[in-house]
Amino acid sequence: EDQVTQSPEALRLQEGESSSLNCSYTVSGLRGLFWYRQDPGKGPEFLFTLYSAGEEKEKERLKATLTKKESFLHITAPKPEDSATYLCAVGSSASKIIFGSGTRLSIRP
């Protein structure tokens, strides 16, 4: 069964304290792994798409990496404005997009 699991559920960091969020997946034929940012009261905002193991993408303080079993979202020297829920989703060969339940990230000044 296709499945996406994100960990941790919640993460509190001090400003400048780097860390990583994990997205583990089981899917029949990966057609893309997506990272989204969601602010309270808003819709998910697209960050990255990764298609194959070994691929990496960067945007400001964020870097997403992909292996055959999981993806990491690395946050380097985060700022309070990086506080949000980060969602991971995978596309499968069955033409489905499956979302994880997200990681709530809080950055303290």
Partner 1 sequence: NAGVTQTPKFQVLKTGQSMTLQCAQDMNHEYMSWYRQDPGMGLRLIHYSVGAGITDQGEVPNGYNVSRSTTEDFPLRLLSAAPSQTSVYFCASSYSSRVGNTIYFGEGSWLTVV
Which residues contribute to the site for partner 1 (CB under 8 A)?
Answer: 4, 31-32, 34, 36, 41-46, 49, 51, 87, 89, 91-93, 95-97, 99-102
| Closest separation in Å from C-beta 54 to partner 1 | 17
Whichever of 38 and 83 has its CB closer to partner 1, that residue is 38
Name the DSSP class of 82.
G
Neighbours of 9 (CB within 10 A): 10
Whichever of 76 and 99 has its CB closer to partner 1, that residue is 99
d(CA 73, CA 94): 25
Whichever of 19 and 38 has its CB closer to partner 1, that residue is 38
CA angle 61, 66, 72 (to 5 degrees): 45
Query: What tokens were used for 22?
Result: 């994990």
| Closest separation in Å from C-beta 17 to partner 1 | 26
